[in-house]
A and B are shown apart, each in its own frame.
Chain A
Amino acid sequence: MSRLRASIVKEIWAVLRDRKARIVLVLPPLVQLMVFSFATTLEVKKVDIAVYDRSGGAHAVELVQRLHGSSYFRHIRPVQSPAEVRAAIDRREVLAALVIEQDFDRRLNAGQSASVGLILDGRRSNAAQIAAGYVRQVTGGMGVPSTMANAGGGVAITHWFNPALEYTWFTLPSLIAIITAVAGLAITSQSVSRQREDGTFDQLLVSPLRTHEILIAKMTPAFLMGLFNGTLFWVIAQVVFGVPFFGSIILFYLALVAFLLAMIGFGLFISAVSMTQQQSFMGTFLVMTPMLLLSGYASPIENMPEWLQYVTLLNPQRYFLIILHGVFLKAMPVSEILMQVWPLVVIAIAMLSAAAWMFRSRME
């Protein structure tokens, strides 16, 4: 026990006293919090739009004013010719151009339905589709009250778990997965290779420490750091960003522990394979990028080709993201959470065993 305790204490100090390691611990989570929580939004706000008004009538003017009045648009730029429309779009000065046809006012005055053309920049098709929705809302709202509405028909839309569709309610819980994963991988993947370079690894191997004691000691700092980051962001999400937490704290920590062990397993494996810090850096990069992109955070998993969806089953992030959204917003029941936790446990056991095996076989 004293051996294990001494190595754990040593590993923690090694992380805390090393200026470089401290920077790796403190800076990325802060930057990630800043950048991810604000930048990675698929929301579309403040669209710049061009309006080519060929009608010039009162209805057309009203339509433009309604666009102004809507909060979705930032600059509304009047243009005078099709050529200008093309130029504005080509140069990416606007995301969309609204073309009000010549007969627009005449038809509306005659009680007929009129049409407008909307040209969107397909180079940003995601934003463009959302912008098209905004324009439709404005034009739809301006139409003569429909019989349908009179008859009480239509669509009632409810967004559960996040009624106002706050984007931060999605990002902040996800950040717990991302940040604990990045820190966990970064700390553990460097730990062995740095010692190999320092020569301190040999020193460890000639001491009576057993392999499992060395490994457990190596896991500890990343694990504690992960718990700390997880707790910190759990608090920040609620206190600073007002994200509700409906689920059970115990389940949250249970899942966090399983997830951390799985990520640390990956980190230790990279560490055991690499001989130099350079290699472990590359290894971390090659593991981290696909993990983030194929987690369901950057884009939904069901949009991927089916064979790739099977690949994501190996990704711990995938399960933890579902759990996080579940415990924060959905008050996910125990049974459902356990359904997501067991794959994490399996991955953790598999990766940690692989790391221990690799570690032993690369002792030489």
Chain B
Amino acid sequence: MNDPQRHGGRSARGRSFQRLRAMSIKELAQISRDPSTYLITLVMPLLLLFLFGFGISLDASGTKVALVQQDDSAAAQQLVQSYRNSRYFAITTVHDRRPAREMMVRSEVRGFIVIPADFGRVVAQGKAPQIQIVTDGSEPNTAQFVAAHASGVFNTWLANEGPASKRSPPPGIETSARFWYNPGLQSRNFLVPASIAVVMTIIGTLLTALVVAREWERGTMEALLATPLRMPEFIASKILPYYFLAMASMTVCTLIAVFFFGVPFRGSILALFLLASAFMFPALGLGLFISAVTKNQFVSSQIALFAGFLPTFLLSGFMYEISSMPVPLQAITYIVPARYLIPSLQTIFLTGDVWPLFLPNMAALLVFGAVFFFLAFRVTRRSLD
């Protein structure tokens, strides 16, 4: 028993593998017993997917708009019908500007369209009529949608039914737009794949940070450090289970995206796994780094939220266009790992395998991963100082 020769009974590598295996088994046993794991790997992803699948929609359809109809002529009726038929609007008809204005102040409508009293007369004279579109500028994005689509409906009506339509069409430039990869313009199609990156950040960074901080907090880290366990083995034992957990969660999210939300999947599964794996590298590295610095579950979770979750959400091009941000903020987005994953994820789902896009992104992810791991290693030194 107490024979030092027995230590040589196995090769050093064999013993290292044995330790790694034991630590990973331990980690999995803990994962399966911890309710917060289920909350983070199951409840939160589903909640997010659900919110982005249903809650967030940037597609203006059925926008509430009032129509101030001050004219009853046939032409005006026709135009009103055109608005009613448009899928962009839900129309409420009134006959005076005042109620329309009040509805807009109450935020019940996003704008109103005025068909003036002389509308029919002008059309009858063969001249082009004029309408007025008033939008609620307090929400600029919606205001622009309303303005663009309301004038679009009017111009179409004018071209087909208006006084000018009887004559030969004036020469002009017609722009025919086609939206590749998402012809139905459903924001769900790009938000749901992108939210998978958020889910993976939560597992890779938040959960990992919590778990390692817990080892410090409960004093088990101290016991581990006094065993022959080596630092790389410890780190590997923390990474592997959470890597597989994140992959499993990613797979479930993908299945939900495709079969429940009907998002197309045009790329290859191989590319999806390669990219997701590359992303886990910085995500896990950041989680380990945070926990090694704080050694406290509560502080870890706060920092993981700030350094992991929020940037993934706001500064990755997920919902908000990076090119529209001020330059300093754009510069910050370059150090947000999700920035390199989200475009590729959307591409795998909607376009297909575009390796010239994927490869540089994967390279960037690996570089960030290396940096975070280096930092995590340095901080998790073999000491309690």
Q: Which chain B residue lies CB-closest to A40?
A: B320
- Asked if A39 is an interface residue, CB under 8 A from chain B, the answer is yes
Q: Which chain A residue lies CB-closest to B182?
A: A122
Q: Are A44 and B324 in contact (CB under 8 A)?
A: yes
Q: What residues of A have a CB within 8 angstroms of the CB of B190 in the complex?
A: 122-125
How many pairs of A and B residues are in contact by the CB < 8 Å rule? 323
Q: Are A286 and B44 in contact (CB under 8 A)?
A: yes
Q: Which chain B residue lies CB-closest to A339?
A: B106
- Asked if B269 is an interface residue, CB under 8 A from chain A, the answer is no
Q: What residues of A have a CB within 8 angstroms of the CB of B96 in the complex?
A: none
Q: Are A165 and B144 in contact (CB under 8 A)?
A: yes
- Asked if B32 is an interface residue, CB under 8 A from chain A, the answer is no
- Asked if A6 is an interface residue, CB under 8 A from chain B, the answer is no
- Interface residue count for B (Cβ, 8 Å)? 104
Alpha-carbon distance between A31 and B306 when the two chains are bound, in angstroms: 9
Near A by CB (< 8 A), chain B positions 20-50 give 36, 39-40, 43-44, 47-48
User: Knowing A39-B329, A299-B56 touch, does A160 contact B128 (C-beta < 8 A)?
Assistant: no
Give B344 Cβ to nearest chain A Cβ, in Å. 9
- Interface residue count for A (Cβ, 8 Å)? 106
Alpha-carbon distance between A68 and B133 when the two chains are bound, in angstroms: 29
Near A by CB (< 8 A), chain B positions 107-145 give 107, 110, 122, 127-145
Q: Are B128 and A147 in contact (CB under 8 A)?
A: yes
- Asked if B291 is an interface residue, CB under 8 A from chain A, the answer is no
- Asked if A36 is an interface residue, CB under 8 A from chain B, the answer is yes
Give A232 Cβ to nearest chain B Cβ, in Å. 20
Q: Are A167 and B62 in contact (CB under 8 A)?
A: no
Q: Are B172 and A128 in contact (CB under 8 A)?
A: no
Task: Write out, one digit per residue, whether chain B residues 148-189 have a CB within 8 A of any chain A CB (1) or not (0).
Answer: 101100110010001010010111111111111111011101
Q: Which chain A residue lies CB-closest to B128?
A: A153
Near B by CB (< 8 A), chain A positions 283-332 give 285-286, 289-290, 293-294, 298-300, 302-305, 308, 322, 325-326, 328-330, 332
User: Knowing A120-B179, A157-B147, A305-B54 touch, does A43 contact B299 (C-beta < 8 A)?
Assistant: no
Q: Are B347 and A90 in contact (CB under 8 A)?
A: yes
Alpha-carbon distance between A286 and B42 when the two chains are bound, in angstroms: 12
- Asked if A69 is an interface residue, CB under 8 A from chain B, the answer is no
Q: Which chain B residue lies CB-closest to A332?
A: B105
Instruction: Tell me which of B223-231, B271-279, B349-357 binds A.
Output: B349-357
Q: Are B131 and A155 in contact (CB under 8 A)?
A: yes
Q: Which chain B residue lies CB-closest to A150?
A: B128
- Asked if B58 is an interface residue, CB under 8 A from chain A, the answer is yes
Q: Are B298 and A278 in contact (CB under 8 A)?
A: yes
Q: What residues of B have a CB within 8 angstroms of the CB of A278 in the complex?
A: 36, 210, 297-298, 301
Q: Which chain B residue lies CB-closest to A149?
A: B128
Q: What residues of B have a CB within 8 angstroms of the CB of A160 in the complex?
A: 104, 134-137
User: Knowing A90-B354, A108-B171, A122-B350 touch, does A289 contact B314 (C-beta < 8 A)?
Assistant: no
Give A326 Cβ to nearest chain B Cβ, in Å. 7
Q: What residues of B have a CB within 8 angstroms of the CB of A140 in the complex?
A: 172-173, 175
Alpha-carbon distance between A112 and B169 when the two chains are bound, in angstroms: 9
- Asked if A115 is an interface residue, CB under 8 A from chain B, the answer is yes
Provide a sorted-by-A list of 11 A–B residue pairs whose CB atoms are within 8 angstroms: A28-B306, A34-B329, A39-B325, A91-B357, A122-B182, A123-B346, A155-B150, A157-B134, A277-B297, A290-B55, A322-B106
Q: Which residues of A contact B (CB under 8 A)?
A: 20, 24, 27-28, 31, 34-36, 38-48, 63, 74, 87, 89-92, 107-108, 111-130, 132-133, 135-136, 139-140, 142-144, 146-148, 151-163, 165-167, 169-170, 277-278, 281-282, 285-286, 289-290, 293-294, 298-300, 302-305, 308, 322, 325-326, 328-330, 332-333, 336, 339
Q: Name 6 extra pairs, CB < 8 A, besides A139-B175, A158-B135.
A: A31-B310, A133-B144, A151-B164, A152-B130, A155-B133, A336-B106
